[in-house]
Amino acid sequence: MSIDQETPESQVQVESEVENEEHPHTEVGEHEYTIEELKQELEETQQKAHESWDKAVRTQAEMENLKRRTQKDLEDAHKFALTSFSKELLPVFDSVVLGLQAATGDSDEVKKFREGCDLTIKQFEALFAKFNILAIDPKGEPFNAEQHQAMMMQEVEGVEANTVVNVFQKGYVLNGRLLRPAMVVVAKAAEKPSEK
């Protein structure tokens, strides 16, 4: 090695002392906190921690509510996806039933037609049962405005007022939700003769 490259230890020490003199080390004096200042800072920190905890709890609750609502909406979408289709299918079923009722006579053609209609009706009923579409046939039951639509009221002897005495058209529910109300005739109370 050359002499220029080697630096004796004494020279390194002298250089570092010179650097320290040029850039003297200045310490930043730390503020000494009083007990009152520490107490106040602790209270502020606890308040912020409490607010943060409260926000976290509220956010968690909102997320749980959102999760439940989304789950319910999803279940309802699966449960009631057939609503529109079912409503469109009911008049077709009614037409088959009415066709069967209108087919009278004893000829072989009429018997075959009635047999075919019976089989079709049974297939419809099996399909309805499979997808939880239930018929509302309230004859003899009390009138229920949520599931029945009164077409007319009629005096009927021996029948209590507000009782369904005839069903023009059955109603249907899908998984407990009304698809179509039953069209019914409701008994009314007998009119009392006016006293003169």
C-alpha–C-alpha distance, residues 134 and 174, integer Å: 7
The predicted pLDDT at position 29 comes to: 54
The predicted structure's pLDDT at residue 167: 92
Question: Which pLDDT tens digit goes with each residue over 5-64?
Answer: 555 555 555 455 545 555 555 454 577 888 998 999 999 999 999 999 999 999 999 999
| Percent of the chain topping pLDDT 90 | 53
Residue 170 has pLDDT above 80, yes or no: yes
Q: How confident is the model at residue 1 (pLDDT cuts 50, 70, 90)?
A: very low
Q: How far is CA 180 from CA 135, 149, 171, 177, 189, in A?
A: 10, 9, 5, 9, 27
Q: Which of 22, 135, 155 is nearest to 86 (CA)?
A: 135
> Which tokens in the block code for residue 161?
């007022």
What are the chain's domains?
56-131 (3.90.20.20), 133-190 (2.30.22.10)
Span 104-130, average pLDDT? 92
- Cα 21 from Cα 15, distance rounded (Å): 10
